[in-house]
Amino acid sequence: MPATQYLKLDSPFRLRKGGELKELQLAYETWGELNTDKDNAILLFTGLSPSAHVSSSPKNQSPGWWEGMLGSEYPLDSDKYFIICVNSLGSCYGTTGPASINPGTKKRYGLDFPVLTLEDIAISTNEVVKFFGIESLHTVMGSSMGGMSALAYLVQFPKKARNFISISSALRAEPYAIALRSLQRELIRADKIWADGEYADDEQPVSGMQLARKLGMITYRSATEWRQRFGRERASERQGGAFGIEFDVESYLEAHAKKFTGQFDANCYLYLSRALDLFDVAEHGGSVAAALKKVEIERALVIGVMSDSLFPVHQQKEVADALGHVCDKVIFKALDSIQGHDSFLVDMDRFRPIMCDFLSSCKSPDCGEK
Amino acid sequence: MPATQYLKLDSPFRLRKGGELKELQLAYETWGELNTDKDNAILLFTGLSPSAHVSSSPKNQSPGWWEGMLGSEYPLDSDKYFIICVNSLGSCYGTTGPASINPGTKKRYGLDFPVLTLEDIAISTNEVVKFFGIESLHTVMGSSMGGMSALAYLVQFPKKARNFISISSALRAEPYAIALRSLQRELIRADKIWADGEYADDEQPVSGMQLARKLGMITYRSATEWRQRFGRERASERQGGAFGIEFDVESYLEAHAKKFTGQFDANCYLYLSRALDLFDVAEHGGSVAAALKKVEIERALVIGVMSDSLFPVHQQKEVADALGHVCDKVIFKALDSIQGHDSFLVDMDRFRPIMCDFLSSCKSPDCGEK
């Protein structure tokens, strides 16, 4: 990936819940040009599993995870903005994480990696912002876990962004989402190959990861979508013997689980998943209001989806209400997309016009629909 | 369980999708007295995991799975009605199922048990009705899977019941519920102890069953209940090492999973779970209308719960609408209980008055609240 750039920190990086990382490396990509005033930058935090490759570019033409949302004439308009995306601390796409070599032991960190929080992700990401000499970000934003990381950024750097966009995110993890993630982690840990995190360098706990991915898919989508899409259609091919695949929805899950395999390191997944559970913006001062008290933003956009059961719409409303106390212009949109939590990835036609309006980007009437 | 009675069928029982069972045994319990006209019987179908022990009685004083709903002065009033509950075919509480000894081989059926459908459960259950010489049931009813089995009874014995009660059930399995059950089954099958269904007589795939139970609990309850009940409370005791139990909701799931262990045979669970997926009332004639065409009932009561994500309220409405075509008096109630699919088991105060009204039972104003 020639588009990926790397920043190595000189000093050890201390984590919120203890421990430190030496020689921390951050992998990131940028799109567009930073202007002379260095005030046109958008910092984008990702969800749990994506890399920093948001969108294709001349340097890396492979499609990104938000292809169609970033680029010339798109909401995240690279003709106008300098867009930065950093692979989250704890992940495995170039940034230091549990799958990285611990310079102290010359072995992978594994479970020796310190407890990770979204606050740590936000602070480490800010090193890239500092590297570019940016003192005022046009916008800090994120979707899903990325929205929480963006909030963690906002409360820790309260004067550093002028605009804020939260998509399908939350002020804190609620017990239903914690339960689902806890079970996903248990499915990975129950795989013997995981071996308390000490699996071989060339062997991932694939079965456990596939089961966790299936549970993920069930919670990322919605019953309404699947009713319309699969109904009670039978799979074209039965697989897996007794109690194997019989219905279309079962072969869909199987195909998605297989696709995910090997793409993501199991320990990284566990750390990032737990970091989501641990997040509660109210920890910064004892209440949501106290956490946001010092935040100085001009405008905020909060988008949620009615069919999202993982980050339900009442949590989006909470984000909007909280931001309403520190900023006069908060736009809150609850969309009718039927694809649940994943809607921002697959129902982009609904998201684009709202983001274009907010970012005054892609003035063309077709709004990024190429 | 001295209250349990048994009926052994003389002829082999043929199943809907092929295969037959010799020496089929049905375990059942009854409450109250069958009147001289034999027209005061209520036939109650159970959900996936309960036995026929609905409620305590002088013969078996241990609490039943619907204690507080059946008995003197309760909606299922044993002073007035003769209530029959049969342990479903395929289960493991006295009725023949995959854990039973195959008289042909003298070994457990295991996966040699034929494919099971809810229609088979309904037809086998009717053998107990026939045994009592009942030609007209006052009411046939069921909750969850039991509601589907009751529907399967209704379409196969269309003139045999005068009233029908469906609680948190459906006309067919939808893909979201199929996906969840499919994953639950996979969690059991992924447990090495399961051994393609050939686990030892004294050893159940406990880990797999516990994981499946946790997923079950997540889908049986609701995010709203857990938000109110657990919030972000930490568990009093951390368990399980790295990524183990940290939040209250995690220790709740762990406790429930452990309680379930050993109570239910894994193969029985797999067969009954798949039988739920396979059910679609429209298979009886090609459409729901065709399936219900011959049904002669006087009144129907359909109860659902707004917070139920497994058998969502639109499916309750579908049941009510379908019954509306064959019967003038259909009462449809969508309750505000926050306990999701499990509400009928834990929020009985909301269900009792509605059922009392419908069954003209427990005339006392406290309606079963003892």
Tens-place pLDDT, residues B198-255: 999 889 999 999 999 999 999 999 999 999 999 999 998 887 777 999 999 999 999 9
How far does B230 lie from chain A, in Å, by closest CA? 7
Tokens (6 digits) for A275: 């970091």
Is B341 a residue of the active site?
yes
Q: Distance (Å, rounded) from C-alpha B150 to C-alpha A343?
A: 38
The label of the residue with tokens 């059942």 reads: B28
Nearest to B243 among A185, A218, A226 (CB): A185
Spell out a b/e string for A165-198, using b for 16 or more CB atoms within 10 Å of the CB, else e.
bbbbbbbbbbbbbbbbbbbbbbbbbbbeebeebe
Q: Distance (Å, rounded) from C-alpha B114 to C-alpha B349?
A: 40
Q: What is the DSSP string of B214-262?
A: HHHHHHHS-HHHHHHHTTTPEEEEEESSTT-EEEHHHHHHHHHHHHHTT
Instruction: For residue A341, give Cα distances in angstroms to A19, A144, A303, B7, B40.
Output: 33, 8, 11, 50, 50
**Contact indicator for B307, B225 with CB cutoff of 8 Å:** yes
Using left for φ > 0, alpha for ψ between -120 and 50, and beta otherwise, residue A184 falls in alpha
Chain B residue nearest residue A271, CA to CA: B243
Query: Would you tell me which residues 254-313 of chain B have a C-beta closer than 8 angstroms to some C-beta of chain A?
Result: 270, 274, 277, 280, 309, 312
Candidates A51, A138, A341, A343; catalytic one:
A341
Candidates A120, A265, A308, A342; catalytic one:
A308
For B283-306, the pLDDT digits (tens) are 999 999 999 999 999 999 999 999
**Contact indicator for B281, B292 with CB cutoff of 8 Å:** yes
CB spacing of B223 vs A175 below 8 angstroms = yes
CB atoms inside a 10 Å sphere around CB B79? 13
Nearest to B232 among A172, A189, A246 (CB): A172
Q: Is the CB of residue B6 less than 8 Å away from at least one CB of chain A?
A: no
CB spacing of B253 vs A309 below 8 angstroms = no
Q: Is B212 helix (H, G, I), strand (E, B) or coil?
A: helix
The label of the residue with tokens 């729901």 reads: B288
User: pLDDT per position in chain A (370 positions), as tens?
Assistant: 479 999 999 999 999 999 999 999 999 999 999 999 999 999 999 999 999 999 999 999 999 999 999 999 899 999 999 999 999 999 999 999 999 999 999 999 999 999 999 999 999 999 999 999 999 999 999 999 999 999 999 999 999 999 999 999 999 999 999 999 999 999 999 999 999 999 998 899 999 999 999 999 999 999 999 999 999 999 988 877 779 999 999 999 999 999 877 789 999 999 999 999 999 999 999 999 999 999 999 999 999 999 999 999 999 999 999 999 999 999 999 999 999 999 999 999 999 999 999 999 866 556 655 4
**Contact indicator for A297, A154 with CB cutoff of 8 Å:** yes
**Contact indicator for A344, A351 with CB cutoff of 8 Å:** yes
Nearest to A179 among B175, B218, B243 (CB): B218
Query: Would you tell me which residues 41-100 of chain B have a C-beta closer than 8 angstroms to some C-beta of chain A?
Result: none
Q: pTM, whole model, 2 decimals?
A: 0.96
Predicted-complex ipTM score: 0.94
CB spacing of B175 vs A211 below 8 angstroms = no
The label of the residue with tokens 């036939």 reads: B43
Q: Is the CB of residue A174 less than 8 Å away from at least one CB of chain B?
A: yes
Is B347 a residue of the active site?
no
How far does B109 lie from chain A, in Å, by closest CA? 14
Measured on CA atoms in the order B351, B354, B358, B361, is the torsion positive or negative?
A: positive
Q: What structural domains does chain B harbor?
A: 5-173+280-359 (3.40.50.1820), 177-271 (1.10.1740.110)
